[in-house]
Amino acid sequence: MKTFLRKRAVASAFSLIGLVILVFFLSRLTGDPTDLYLPVDASAEARENFREIHGLNDPLLVQFGRYVWDLAHFDFGMSIRRAEPALDAVLRGFAWTLQLAVITMTLVTVMAIIVGSLAAYRVGGVFDRLATFFSLIGASAPDFWIAIVAIVVFSVGLGWVPTSGTGGWEYWILPIAVLFIRPFGLILQVVRGSMISTLSSAYVKTARAKGLKNRPIIFVHALRNAMLPVITVIGDQAAALLNGAVVVETIFGFPGVGKLMIDSILQRDFTVILAAIMVTAFAIFVMNLLIDILYAVLDPRIRY
């Protein structure tokens, strides 16, 4: 296991280095942040001064060398736009996104496993048909549309929850509900498919022949074996949320890392873009590692 972890860490470090190089040079291709930061009437002198302050006049390779040197000292640089260290802005946003992702994925996982398993138990039954119908709608409905409709219905119409923002628990209901729908639909389908195949296997038939009740058959014996493909999809969906639930964060005014990343790209705030990508890449590396470990826990045949 230790060898596996070491190998994964080295491979991930190479990936991160490649990512830094790629993002650094690609973000520079988008143009000069001076054009976006200063007003169109700003004088050439003011533009030159701005470039000088932020080191944008130096050759690209010099800028890259300076960035790597600072990075080696865990200094991600100052945000061009925000008058604060880039890493502070990113970690603050990431903390919000992490909470949103953890709560949503926990609810999604629990609900999708329960509903998917029950749907698989009587394939073609009323519950299965309803679950399949709603999960397909959920998996294919666009986030921004659901978010706006949810605000119009539940906030403006019924007045049950606030439209947006942060605060008490009630502010989390709509963002989590909107984020819940798509991964729930996808994971439910995978759980259902995997459980159908597991429930038709020989050991389940044996358990039934022995007179075991349905609940232990589904949730103890079959579920554990059906979980491997489900874990993969859960990891995939969680990674998407960690990258930032951009649409939901933007509409609900949630100060997460996804919104920060989009704003930084639009404003050409290079240091924040790079810091955000590094932090989310590291988080995804940690999550993938956890999933690998979970594989081994669920299936004793898997050893690294």
Partner 1 sequence: MIRNLGGAVALLLSSTAAFAASHGETGVTIVLPEELDIVDPCEASRSNVGRVVLQNVAETITELTPDEGLQPRLAESWEDLGGGTWQFKLKDGVTFHDGSAFGATDVAHSLERIKSENISCEIGAKFFGGIELTTEVVDDTTINITADPAQPILPLLLSTVTVVPEETSMDAYVDVPVGTGPYTFDEYNRGQDIKLSLNENYWGETPTVTNATYVFRSDSAVMAAMVANGEADIAPAIALQDATDPEMDFSYPNSETVYIRLDTEMAPLNDVRVRQAMNYAVDREAFIGTILADGTLLATAINPPSTIGYNHDLEPFPYDPEKAKELLAAAAADGVPTDMEITFIGRNNNWGNVVETLEALTAMWADVGLNVKLQMVEVAEWLEHYSNPFPEDRGPEIVAAMHDNANGDPVFSVYFKYASEGLQSGVRDAGLDDMIAAATAATGDERAALWSDLFEYIQMEQVYDVLLFHMVGFSRVNPRLDFEPSIRTNSELQLSQISFK
**Binding interface with partner 1 (CB under 8 A):** 30-32, 35-47, 49-50, 52-53, 79, 81-84, 89, 92-93, 96, 148, 151-152, 155-156, 159-168, 170-171, 250-253, 255, 260, 263, 267
User: With respect to partner 1, which residue has the nearer C-beta, 36 or 291?
Assistant: 36
* Partners of residue 85 on adjacent β-strands: 78
Kindly state the smallest distance separating residue 155's Cβ from partner 1, in Å.
Answer: 6
Buried-exposed string 59-84: b where 16+ CB fall within 10 A, e elsewhere: eeeebbeebeeebeeeebbbbbbbee
User: With respect to partner 1, which residue has the nearer C-beta, 128 or 269?
Assistant: 269
Kindly state the smallest distance separating residue 105's Cβ from partner 1, in Å.
Answer: 22
Kindly state the smallest distance separating residue 28's Cβ from partner 1, in Å.
Answer: 12
User: With respect to partner 1, which residue has the nearer C-beta, 86 or 187?
Assistant: 86
User: With respect to partner 1, which residue has the nearer C-beta, 42 or 296?
Assistant: 42
Kindly state the smallest distance separating residue 196's Cβ from partner 1, in Å.
Answer: 32
Q: Alpha-carbon distance 232 to 302, whole Å?
A: 15
Kindly state the smallest distance separating residue 234's Cβ from partner 1, in Å.
Answer: 28
Kindly state the smallest distance separating residue 98's Cβ from partner 1, in Å.
Answer: 14
Kindly state the smallest distance separating residue 75's Cβ from partner 1, in Å.
Answer: 17
The residue length of the chain stands at 304
User: With respect to partner 1, which residue has the nearer C-beta, 87 or 260?
Assistant: 260
User: With respect to partner 1, which residue has the nearer C-beta, 3 or 43?
Assistant: 43
Kindly state the smallest distance separating residue 286's Cβ from partner 1, in Å.
Answer: 24
User: With respect to partner 1, which residue has the nearer C-beta, 8 or 51?
Assistant: 51
User: With respect to partner 1, which residue has the nearer C-beta, 32 or 236?
Assistant: 32
